[in-house]
Structure 1
Amino acid sequence: MYTIVDIETTGGKFNEEGITEIAIYKFDGHEVVDQFISLVNPEREIQPFVVNLTGINSKMLKNAPKFYEIAKRIVEITEDTILVAHNAQFDYRILKTEFKRLGFPFKRQTLCTVELSKDLIPDQKSYSLGKLVRSLGIPVTDRHRASGDALATVKLFKLLLTKDTNKTIIKESIKKEPKFQMEPRLIDIIDNLTSVTGVYYMYKADGELIYIGKSKNIKNRVNQHFTGTTPKSKKMQAQVAAVKYEATGSELVALLKESEEIKRNKPILNRALRRSIFTHALYSFIDHNGYINLTIDKADGRKPCITTFSTRQSGRHFLEKMVEQFNLCQKLAGIYKTKTSCFHYEVKKCEGACIQKESPEDYNKRVQQLLDKYSYKNKNMVIIDRGREVDERSAILIENGIFKGFGFYNLNYQINNLEILQTIITPMENNRDQQHIIQSYLRKNKRLKIINL
């Protein structure tokens, strides 16, 4: 089973293009058995020359579905098929890029009708779709529109199937995954990067992924790598042949994606971040007098904690601020060792919980405020942060205290219930590192919008 695909895009820099129109025809070798055609809102500008070529402009796409809204249909119609396109490397790359933005891997076997035509119909003056089908007497309507070009490719592919009498050329031409090719535009890597927040990926010439990083300014960060004098920077300079990136808008999304991608891919130059990124945690316990005590200790995954830290020092610094903010007792917070009253009680900044002068009920209420603020255990909430575009926001979903993933939404839409959120969320693994990243980010960015569901 085959799916013949044609995609129209916005044009622009390599791997920054967006889809404006897509047409997919499911073809069983004899006839079309299913089809999907749609305009797509690319959420980015269309290059003027593309508007002139295709006739597709931003006004036409204003109410068109965004890619995430049609992604499921694309997966369903192409599943267990060989993806066929005229210059398949381009269409397949665009689809992979769009799915990668959603956090999903998209892998299909591919066939290129340009390559097949050169093998089965040699000596043609041109192998561009328009000139080739005209020379073969294949009618084509709506040239440079996805549906018209895809239908022309269906007819061309049908002809190629009949010409491959031994059924060997097409079989041998199927590619499981196009080989990594260094794009001409990537020769000058820095010039082809932009100053956006996101995750970047460094590759060797053979396509091996050797480093993953995140930055609030990818172009500047990669420039630092390429001008650095550390042993790691020198290895990058010697080995890197291409840098690709994915914009996230939100630094929190970039941190979460970087952590998951490093654990999944284990790039050779990311040794440090393969391990857990936190060492200490904040724990609570109730003493024999009924007061909630706090303590910073080495992180132990076997027991529940409130929040985590990269070092003991950062944990202690956090506790000191919380003692001030919530008017807590230094002794019960574990930062002032004494058998009597704490120093803050002597200077009238502690209500006396350290010597049982303040009741456990009154003291514990303030401690509980701290626990509720910095722990999302059993909570249903959404952290709202920046998006990739001005009119977009990112949403990080916590459901029953478990990190579920992230998604992006347009400001014209209200995100206020789980059902809507679950449709836009890209699932991610919930582990201790991801929890640490979220908790640490919440501590440092106090103005973040949080919606409790």
Structure 2
Amino acid sequence: MIAFLDIQTTSNNYKLASIVAFSVVVIDDDRIIHSIERTVKPLNVLSSMEERSSGYSNSELRSQNCFADYFAELVEILGDAVVIFFDKFSEMIWRKSLREIGFPVNKSQQIIQELLIRRGILNQKTSLDSLCNLLKKDTSLNRLGLNANVLAAIYTEYVLADNGSEAINQPFADYKVVTDFDNLPKNPGVYYFFDSEKAVIYVGKAINLKERIKAHFSSKIQFELTLTESTFSIEYKETGNELISLLLESAEIARLKPLYNTQQIEDILPWTIESRIDKKGIFRIFPKEKSYSDNYHSISFNRDSVITKLKNLALQFSLCYRFLGIERTSGSCSSPLCKGVCTGMETREAYNKRAQKAFDSLQSNKESYFLKLSGRVKSEEAFVLVKDGVYEGFGFIPLEYPVRSIADFEAFIEPYDNTYFTNRSIHQYLNKKGIVKYNLP
């Protein structure tokens, strides 16, 4: 079940904006099951400027219900539906409005404007009215905020349907095409080299996009000569800081597998520490290399690091190397503090108690934090989110948006896989002097 939600506000400023109109269309099994349009009495009288910008007057809103009065109706018709908005601002305001009346709401993974940019149908953000003109849709828009039905139609036709073929010839979302080296920014970012068939053949990162891209074309190294001779166009995306450049580059190389990127093409599977009770009733802790993409319990991305951690557990909790998967010898193990479970000198009950405590300590030591970084523009901050020791992704938050919970981060995060390369990038960054990890709110 999906719901399309259109809203109109008093202002484009997040702090000042309040909802004056909204509409909802709920679809289940390709059938509209709910459709409502509501106008809202604002808490404060609108200024003349707010009346003009919102398209609604104080006189017509004065007799309407406050937003909180629609709460019960919204809960009933939205239920567990995935809510889809036209743009990010609409989602932010909707979340803020519900939070103000004590109702938290999950973020929407579906922003129509962003989805259309990703598919190459849009090159930049635009209004709903301009989008309809661009798509040449013969649609008469209702008053501002009352066009959830139009959102549903656009989503169905241009997102669900296979109309993204033109995306091949269009820039990526939020990416810019290089037309002149002299106009390149001197900011951190990620860049893409395309061949004559518009396939990505190289992805790179840069602290200074201008200098790094130009360096490819001035180099006399054979690799660079071959790469640049094969390059027909270039696109880039600013990231605001070096760490997100590293993380995005790693994710894009894994996704696109460009011809001239060789170092990060191979997947490196994570090693984990897991546990089980064996046939003799002994609680075993052992290293295991994952063969699937479930990285949630990953401890490291190489076996040596896991073995080192297991040896530390053996010392801390007087455990046996044999039952930690470190040794496979018969008889006594070589662990200096083993109390003899491997030779029958210690009962399995006594050993299991310590082994369980050791395994539980691994889970409790997983950190959850975020890193605060420079944004792409002065009006935003960037962040990298790590939850339970696992990299979740990064995002950009407007300075005026208050972050009070992890749900606020999740409203802006671009999720990415936790891999060896992202793990390494974050750890190297944390080893720099003066880096602060912030606890999640």
* TM-score after normalising by structure 1: 0.46
* TM-score after normalising by structure 2: 0.47
